[in-house]
Amino acid sequence: MPRQIVGKGLRLTLRHAPCAHICRYCLISETRKGSALPFARFEQLVHRFYDWKLADHRDDLEIGVFVGPSFDYDLETLRGVARLRARRGGKFQILNLGGLRIRRGEALTAWLEERQSAGIIGFHTSLAGCDETHDRWNGRRGDFAYQTAILRLGGERGMVRHERLFLTQNTLPHFDRLLDILDGIPGEVRNRYVTLFFYAGLAPRYENERITEEIRDALPERIGRLRQGKFVDWRSEREWIPLMMEVADRPRRLILKLDVHEGNIDALEKSSCEEIFAARERLYQDSYRPIPSLAELCTRYGDPESRKVYMMSRDVEGRWLDLHARETGIKPPID
Ligand code: SF4
């Protein structure tokens, strides 16, 4: 019996602002190429979904938006993204530095101050080690110095920051130096957390960099206390398996993704939100049909001895789906 799939929301994405990084672990590699669709048409479509959710009292449904792959937006797009965020009751105030083009000197200061005047109060940085280690992971020489220079400029202007620090076998030895550098940058750190790679995008190529239970359990206190936020359950595959099997027969509730681009916008504009959502859900269900149940995947591909650590059970399942694809030629389902 294939797994039952239920859409619990829709995430509309637009590949609008090109990414200037080539991260080796890129989690969203499929959306790095740009789309020619004007932002205004995308925005209109998303507003229609928010109107539908409101009118139909679909409180159970999550409508999300991702305009990427980088946040290197012009000011008009930035205001548009803020309008969409406001529909969810939030404020768009933190700009992600991932994939930003290089700007120097006055051009960089002007860029930063323009965004501050437009309501941006801080920056989010993702760092994989420091210096050359980070630059190598991110595929751009000088990127660590660039991102920390922006954090410094922002801090000096009263801006805050969020820091996501990737922990892998090769970033671990650099953590003390990384934290010393970050602690030396002025400005308020709103949140700082340590994260592992999800098993997604290009990251599965680096399974040998994944930390093990032994490393997790011996993390220095300075790093261990940064395990915060949504994904704090760092478990090895052998620890995840019993938990996954407890809920193996439950339907999977997913946020369905919809990439909006110049090739599908006409059709989307002509369809109702119900039709779009239902069609998307069917597509996901179809893609899961040839996939064995979770319990069967586990029997075939689960490794009850593996001490490699993952942040989500879905990461472990992703590994099994890849092994299944390799063995049978059946592509993993849409994710
Ligand atoms: S910044 Fe890195 S992870 Fe983000 S889209 Fe660009 S290459 Fe991918």
Q: Is residue 31 over pLDDT 70?
A: no
pLDDT band for position 32 (cuts 50, 70, 90):
low
pLDDT at 34: 76
Which CATH number is correct for 5-234+251-290, 3.80.30.10, 3.40.50.12780, 3.20.20.60, 3.90.1010.10?
A: 3.80.30.10
Taking CB atoms and a 6 Å cutoff, what residues make up the pocket around ligand 1?
19, 21-23, 26-28, 32, 69-70, 98-99
pLDDT at 229: 80
pLDDT at 83: 98
Identify whether 242 is preceded by a cis peptide bond (ω within 30 of 0). no
> Ligand 1 centroid to 270 CA: how many Å?
32
For residue 19, the ligand 1 atom closest to its alpha carbon is: 6
Site to substitute for ligand 1 among 23, 137, 197, 205, most atoms within 8 A of C-beta: 23
The full 3-state SS of 91-134, as one line of letters, equals CCCEEECCCCCCCCHHHHHHHHHHHHHCCCCEEEEEECCCHHHH
Q: Is residue 275 over pLDDT 90?
A: yes
For residue 27, the ligand 1 atom closest to its alpha carbon is: 3
Q: What share of the chain in percent tops pLDDT 70?
A: 99
Site to substitute for ligand 1 among 21, 27, 125, 195, most atoms within 8 A of C-beta: 21
For residue 32, the ligand 1 atom closest to its alpha carbon is: 5
- Kindly report, residue by residue over 35-78, the tens digit of the pLDDT: 899 999 999 999 999 999 999 999 999 999 999 999 999 999 99
- Kindly report, residue by residue over 301-321, the tens digit of the pLDDT: 999 999 999 999 999 999 999
DSSP state of 3: P
Q: Is residue 295 over pLDDT 60?
A: yes
- Kindly report, residue by residue over 69-84, the tens digit of the pLDDT: 999 999 999 999 999 9
**Which carries the bigger pLDDT value, residue 232 or residue 10?**
10
Domain ranges of the chain: 5-234+251-290
Site to substitute for ligand 1 among 14, 16, 19, 102, most atoms within 8 A of C-beta: 19
> Ligand 1 centroid to 100 CA: how many Å?
9
Q: Is residue 29 over pLDDT 70?
A: no
pLDDT at 238: 98
pLDDT band for position 1 (cuts 50, 70, 90):
confident
> Ligand 1 centroid to 241 CA: how many Å?
30
Residue nearest to ligand 1 atom 8, measured at CA = 26
- Mean pLDDT score, 261-278: 97
**Which carries the bigger pLDDT value, residue 2 or residue 224?**
224
pLDDT at 335: 82
Report d(CA 307, CA 317) in Å as an integer: 15
Q: Would you state the torsion angle of the CA atoms of residues 288, 204, 326, 296, taken in this order, to the nearest 10 degrees?
A: -50
Site to substitute for ligand 1 among 15, 28, 134, 147, most atoms within 8 A of C-beta: 28
Q: Is residue 27 over pLDDT 90?
A: no
